[in-house]
Structure 1
Amino acid sequence: MRALLIGGTGTISMAISRLLIEQGWELYLLNRATRVNDFEGTNAKFITCDINNEDKAKELLKDMKFDVVADFIAFVPEQVERDYRLFNGKTKQYICISSASAYQKPLANYIINEGTPLSNPYWQYSRDKIACEEYLMKMYREEGFPVTIVRPSHTYDERSVPVGVHGTKGSWQVIKRILIGKPVLIHGDGTSLWTMTHNSDFAKGFVGLMGNAHAVGEAVQITSDETLTWNQIYQIIADALGVKLNPFYVSSAFLDACSTQDFRGSLIGDKANSVVFDNSKLKRLVPGFTATTRLDQGIRKSVKYVLEHPERQIEDLEFDKWCDKVVEALNNAVEQVNK
């Protein structure tokens, strides 16, 4: 079986690439030759190209056909329209990576399956993913384009520790605050439900959909079945670090109102909502699928990796100062009210 991954070296797609190699797929990666060293000694082949350069991509791919093409870096409708032009008639299955954040916000039912309506007035990212899905399903219905939609939720790997509220440079500054005992911002009161999925588990579900005729024309979510509160998630991180957690609770609306970041989208339109995923459809399509990495196990691996790799410890002093200001402002407010 021959697969082309557009991207193929990110948090989600790296685990898929590794599993495809392990299973003996003929694997091609179309990207700007990032992380080539990670594939030394494998049969993976790189097609060096920026996919946004459609003319160059068309030239490089002109004599090639694939069993599966999966695009991990298509975010807006124009990009999936480009993929349709490039791969219509050249693949037996095209997989678009959408997002579980596209599901209805606010939710009418906290249990989510593929029949949950798609609607997110809070986040442009999610609305763009919805538009991508709509275009591709239109091409499936009208032109027979063999599309499969995959909706991941919060997927992580060993290279960073997943958290809820962080700055633009990743999660390290939050981990550092936990390590040194500073107050750590947790949205809401920490009791909303959330699901995090290790990329190795996501890869098992994804590869099971590849070349699967029953998945064509379908949308499928891939997540763990483990659901935890944000309080539990942050406590797992602190336990892995071997320190005491100092939580500081802030409403998502307040965080959005006083931040230059898009917390309206990433919190109000996503993480602030309680979600429980029903993966029955995935398990019907991929019999035997089970997510086997518990969050505490995955977090320990992530913490160990980040602490052992200084290049992953990216300081974000602006975010750190902002956290301190939020804490100070709310503590001052409490003092004023109690006078």
Structure 2
Amino acid sequence: MKVLFIGGTGLISEAVSQRAAEQGLELYLFNRGLRRPFVPQGAQVIVGDIRAAEAAETLKRYEFDVIVDWISFTPEHIRNNIQLFQGKTAQYIFISSASAYQKPPSHYLITESTPLHNPYWQYSRDKIACENMLMDAYREEGFPVTIVRPSFTYGDTMIPAALNSWQHPWSLVDRMRRGEPIVVHGDGTSLWTMTHNTDFAKGFVGLLGLSQAVGQSFHITSDEVLDWNQIYTAIGKAAGVRPNLVHVASDVIVSVSPEQEGNLHGDKAVSGVFDNSKIKRFVPGFCATVPFERGMERTVRWFEEHPERQTVDGSWNALMDRIVQAGRAGL
């Protein structure tokens, strides 16, 4: 099977690339070639930019059984890709987001039939619009789309939390080890699902080339359900400390940092518990096997083995201090 990943070296996709290569797929990665350490052995890199006018010229001499689009975020991106790949592949997999599901949810357990509606986050609304465009193309033109919605998926290079520095994820562990207050939204008891990227890859690779998956949507997550107090405590345990958790209402956090509205009200402030029955029906044997505590031990160990990645975001620390102060002031 000949497979093209548009992207393929990101946080989630690098684990999928690795598993696809291990499974013996003929894997090509189309990206800018900036993350070579995350290219698995045996994969071929086509250097280019899918947004550039010359992308069509670069790719026209190739044909692929499956194309996976890891990096489209707006309907404009999708419109261009439908034109580019119509008639060129038997399956086009679009990476959407579980944040597209209804917020707040009408039922705690999320299935693929849960409505898509997020009034709090433009990112999620754009993903919904992309999905709608692709499904219209499937119904009207036979465009062979499969939609996959990851939730909070992490790996070696990420310290996953509701509030952390995206560019400098070690900041959270550093703050814990210094005994500084760690902001937890709400009372920390809402439920959430963390998924290791190697577990996500097991389910995802099973969808590659699966004709029955065309026209279908899936989420792929762990079945382990934790609350946010447990999540932050597990991160601290992996770092060798008991974190100093400080609970602050999500509304207060957003009042101090308005850009957190989508991340919190549009995602992590509500419970995220997923029914994985569908992916298990289509990919028999799929099972997530990395408990969050074990995954975090692995992640912290990776950072400790890569001291150059232990960078700290001073502006993020200052923001956390302001949020703590606002919470204590009862604002």
TM-score norm. by structure 2 comes to 0.97
Tell me which residue corresponds to 1:126: 124
Tell me which residue corresponds to 1:74: 72
Q: 1:139 aligns with which of 137, 140, 145?
A: 137
Q: Which amino acid aligns with 1:221?
A: H
Pair 1:310 & 2:307 matched: yes
8 Å contact 1:169–1:315 — kept in the other structure?
Answer: no
SS in 1 for 2:24: coil
Tell me which residue corresponds to 1:299: 296
Q: Which amino acid aligns with 1:177?
A: R
Tell me which residue corresponds to 2:51: 52
Q: 1:214-253 maps to which residues of 2 (within 5 A)?
A: 214-253=212-251
8 Å contact 1:163–1:171 — kept in the other structure?
Answer: no
Pair 1:172 & 2:170 matched: yes
For the residues of structure 2 that align with 1:292 and 1:85, how far apart are their CA atoms?
39
Tell me which residue corresponds to 1:8: 8
For the residues of structure 2 that align with 1:87 and 1:135, how far apart are their CA atoms?
14
Tell me which residue corresponds to 2:18: 18
Task: Kindly tell me the number of residue pairs found equivalent between the two proteins.
Answer: 331
Pair 1:328 & 2:292 matched: no
For the residues of structure 2 that align with 1:142 and 1:26, how far apart are their CA atoms?
31
SS in 2 for 1:247: strand
Q: Which amino acid aligns with 2:315?
A: E
For the residues of structure 1 that align with 2:166 and 2:307, how far apart are their CA atoms?
18
Which sits farther off after the overlay, 58-67 or 135-144?
58-67
Tell me which residue corresponds to 2:275: 278
Residue deviations 1:29-68 (CA, integer Å, cap 9, x gap): 000012224447x221111101100x31111111211110
Residue deviations 1:245-272 (CA, integer Å, cap 9, x gap): 1000001111011115x21000110001
Tell me which residue corresponds to 1:103: 101
Q: Which amino acid aligns with 2:229?
A: N
Residue deviations 1:205-264 (CA, integer Å, cap 9, x gap): 11001100110000011101111000001111111111121000001111011115x210
Cα distance 1:333–1:127, how it changes in 2: closer, same or farther (>3 A)? closer
- How far 1:288 sits from its partner (Å)? 0.6
For the residues of structure 2 that align with 1:39 and 1:154, how far apart are their CA atoms?
22
For the residues of structure 2 that align with 1:218 and 1:21, how far apart are their CA atoms?
24
- How far 1:275 sits from its partner (Å)? 1.6
SS in 2 for 1:29: strand
| 5+ long unaligned stretches in structure 1 | 335-339
SS in 2 for 1:101: helix
Cα distance 1:168–1:154, how it changes in 2: closer, same or farther (>3 A)? closer
Tell me which residue corresponds to 2:36: 36
For the residues of structure 2 that align with 1:79 and 1:160, how far apart are their CA atoms?
27
User: Percent of pairs identical after alignment?
Assistant: 53
For the residues of structure 1 that align with 2:297 and 2:198, how far apart are their CA atoms?
15
For the residues of structure 1 that align with 2:38 and 2:121, how far apart are their CA atoms?
34
For the residues of structure 1 that align with 2:39 and 2:126, how far apart are their CA atoms?
32
Tell me which residue corresponds to 1:337: none
Residue deviations 1:95-134 (CA, integer Å, cap 9, x gap): 0000000000011001000000000000000000000000
Cα distance 1:121–1:329, how it changes in 2: closer, same or farther (>3 A)? closer
- How far 1:168 sits from its partner (Å)? 4.8
Q: 1:179-190 maps to which residues of 2 (within 5 A)?
A: 179-190=177-188
8 Å contact 1:192–1:273 — kept in the other structure?
Answer: yes
SS in 1 for 2:68: strand
Q: 1:62 aligns with which of 56, 60, 85?
A: 60
Residue deviations 1:257-305 (CA, integer Å, cap 9, x gap): 1115x21000110001112100101000000100011111101000111
Cα distance 1:284–1:252, how it changes in 2: closer, same or farther (>3 A)? same
For the residues of structure 2 that align with 1:155 and 1:329, how far apart are their CA atoms?
30
TM-score norm. by structure 1 comes to 0.95
| 5+ long unaligned stretches in structure 2 | none
RMSD value, Cα: 1.3
- How far 1:327 sits from its partner (Å)? 2.0
Tell me which residue corresponds to 2:266: 269
For the residues of structure 2 that align with 1:26 and 1:230, how far apart are their CA atoms?
40
SS in 2 for 1:11: coil
- How far 1:307 sits from its partner (Å)? 2.2
Pair 1:256 & 2:267 matched: no
For the residues of structure 1 that align with 2:83 and 2:123, how far apart are their CA atoms?
23
Q: Which amino acid aligns with 2:265?
A: I
For the residues of structure 2 that align with 1:175 and 1:48, how far apart are their CA atoms?
35
